[in-house]
Amino acid sequence: MSFLNFHGKDSVKFNGHDNPVVPVSMAQYVMHYLYGVNEPALVKQASKILDGIETAATAEEMEKKIGAFTMMSAHPAMKSMPHGLALSQNAAKNVMDFAYYVEGAKGARIAVGPCICQLGTQKYPTGITEPEIKDITLFYGADIYLDLGMEFEEITADEAKDILDEMHSRGYVHQALYMFDAGAGLFVMCNCDGNVCSGVKGVRLTGTGIGKGPEICKQDPGKCLGIEKCGKCLERCPFGVNKADGDTVIFDQSKCMGCELCVTTCQGGARELEIREDYEFEHIMSKTLLLAGKYGYERMVPYER
């Protein structure tokens, strides 16, 4: 379909919970539409670069490739490209509620379609042979991806939250992608497989690629059952936060992204989330929104889940 299907005043953008949801300009809509057309190819190229880092023959070669990737990521032109933020289940669900129940009357929509990373790279988790239906687009992003003819379908917030639950159970990271520096805001909630999706691989291999969410995991070592009896955190965390030392798990909190994957599978109850005090993205996605209903923050919408 053509970008001439621009929805005008009915296509809205979101630039942070404390800012009003307003119509997206045609220029922004068209620019992002063109990005959407080329997104599979861009994802494929990013994946190729990361694969090169992962398969480097020597530590020197890997360091050189990481340096090149980091330099590319820091280029001023990259500021207008999508950036991601890792979120917990509750935070991701709050975004769905906000889009559908709070801003739906202003034109905000939610749509789901195939994973663009899997579509672009033709790489899939074990047992999967085609792109999973798990990219949840929001606000003007839903309008664009519905227009692109990529098999996206409009859904409700409750349907979106069911998808989030299923993806979390599979060990996928909820990643809110936004184009804030380009003036167009949040547009999709990805559910990222750590072995395929470029953002997660980027963090694991280079330390860059996704921003840390508003929550962070803390561990009570006394409750940890050890690797032999549990060890689920080693399997679930795609960011390399946990390391094995005999039967003990060494937890590096400084690397925690706040995705909650280890928390929900820890059999000893040794892990829980708390507020990240040095959260850097309040101006983009406020804790008032993401943490609604937790830590003393008010519920965002007056209805029962």
With contact defined as beta carbons under 8 Å apart, do 138 and 186 qualify? yes
**What would you measure as the largest C-alpha separation in the chain, in angstroms?**
60
Of 188, 35, 50, 73, nearest to 121 by C-alpha is: 50
SS3 64: helix
SS3 112: strand
Which residues fall within 8 angstroms of residue 208, CB to CB, at 6 or more apart? 69, 70, 73, 202
pLDDT of residue 142: 92
Helices (H), the chain: 26-54, 59-73, 89-97, 116-121, 140-147, 157-169, 198-206, 232-236, 287-290
pLDDT of residue 68: 82
pLDDT of residue 305: 42
Residue 142, Cα to own-chain centre: how many angstroms? 16
pLDDT of residue 303: 45
pLDDT of residue 133: 96
Which residues fall within 8 angstroms of residue 110, CB to CB, at 6 or more apart? 96, 99, 100, 136, 137, 138, 142, 154, 155, 156, 157, 160
pLDDT of residue 5: 56
pLDDT in tens, the chain (305 residues): 444 455 554 677 776 656 667 778 888 888 888 889 999 998 998 899 899 999 999 999 999 988 888 887 777 767 667 889 999 999 999 999 988 888 877 778 999 999 999 999 999 988 899 999 999 999 989 999 998 988 999 999 999 999 999 999 999 999 999 876 655 678 999 999 988 888 899 899 888 889 999 999 999 999 999 999 999 999 999 999 999 999 999 999 999 999 999 999 999 999 999 999 999 998 888 898 899 999 988 887 654 44
